[in-house]
Amino acid sequence: MRPFVLLAAAAALTVFGLAGCGEPEQVVFYEQGKYHGKPDQRPWENAPPAYGSAKWTKGDEASWEQEVKRRTLGQNEYVRIVH
Amino acid sequence: MARMKFLCDAERCIACNGCVTACKNENEVPWGVNRRRVVTVNDGVPGAEKSISVACMHCSDAPCIAVCPVDCMYHTEQGVVLHDKDLCIGCGYCFYACPFGAPQFPQEGAFGLRGKMDKCTFCAGGPEADGSQAEFEKYGRNRLAEGKLPLCAEMCSTKALLAGDGDVIADIFRQRVTVRGKGSEVWGWGTAYGPPKGGQKPAPERSKP
């Protein structure tokens, strides 16, 4: 029984010891001048929120830009004043 | 293609710090970090005191992107300067390069170590899934993905702070200058881009009482 336990312990030690050899590369590879982070999602790839007045077609950049332009022009109180 | 910019009208800014508060609240900015702040010049001098709200100006040729040693910063298609906090090493080069002092560094750990850089995102989040909890915790709200503009500008009570496509907000500012007959020569395009060239005249000064 005892040799079996020793053998099992030695096998386990070997397995755990070798596990360290399988670690992936931990040094980041840099290419100078290029963004290295995760890719970002573009805002028009989202559907407009269910609440609020924002409306655009999901995936359509032009309609999203039109919506943002409408919102931007809302900051101009001259166009909001009714004479 | 929209190029997102901020524009602060010094003739209107009353230094209420509402934009600062709105930014902190909307993005749950960490203690000790101010993504936006109000700067006042000639404080207390009658007629000469001016205030502007300053944050990241999302430069088209951003020096922070140029100096970042780990290239964690990028331009979105709308010209917003964003960064990946998973790559940032908190070295502070971007802070030295930025002419506006936009990059901020929260203190982390028991010994006040400099944490990862934090700055205005134009309420555009960061490189995590739009609207996700991870994005909110790292970068704050993503209002652009909701078809909205940065809250600091949208809630500005005097509409001194404008945000949006550079061409559109320049048109709004130009209309103001034309209506009130002053502004551009004091603190606007004239200051930023030099004196008017031959044939052009600055907006007339309002007569003083």
How does strand B73-75 pair with strand B81-83?
antiparallel
A45 lies in which domain range? Answer: 40-83
Whether the CB of A59 is below 8 Å from some CB of chain B: the reply is no
* pLDDT above 50: residue A49: yes
Residues B25-56 pLDDT 10s: 999 998 889 999 999 999 999 988 999 999 99
Our CA-based measurement puts residue A16 at a distance from the nearest CA of chain B, in whole angstroms, of 29
Cα separation of B201 and B180, whole Å?
16
Domain-embedded: residue A63: yes
Say if domain B4-193 classifies as CATH 3.30.70.20: yes
CA distances from B31 to A7, A81, B144 (A): 56, 40, 25
Domain-embedded: residue A33: no
- Give the global pTM: 0.80
Tell me which chain B residue has its CA closest to the CA of residue A45.
Answer: B145
* pLDDT above 60: residue B199: no
Cα separation of B143 and B78, whole Å?
13
Domain-embedded: residue A18: no
Residues B85-133 pLDDT 10s: 999 999 999 999 999 999 999 987 777 788 899 999 999 999 999 999 9
Residues B61-75 pLDDT 10s: 899 999 999 999 999
Beta bridge partners of B39: B52
- Residues of B near A (Cβ–Cβ under 8 Å) read 1-2, 70-74, 76-78, 82-84, 86-87, 124, 126-131, 142, 144-149, 153-154, 159, 162-165, 168-169, 172, 175-176, 179
Instruction: Note whether A73 and B168 are within 8 A (CB).
Output: yes
Total domain count, chain A: 1
Our CA-based measurement puts residue A77 at a distance from the nearest CA of chain B, in whole angstroms, of 8
Q: What is the CA radius of gyration of chain B?
A: 18
pLDDT value for A27: 59
* pLDDT above 70: residue B16: yes
Domain-embedded: residue A81: yes
Tell me which chain A residue has its CA closest to the CA of residue B128.
Answer: A40
pLDDT value for A19: 73
- Burial of B68 by CB count in 10 Å (0-12 exposed, 13-18 middle, 19+ buried)? buried
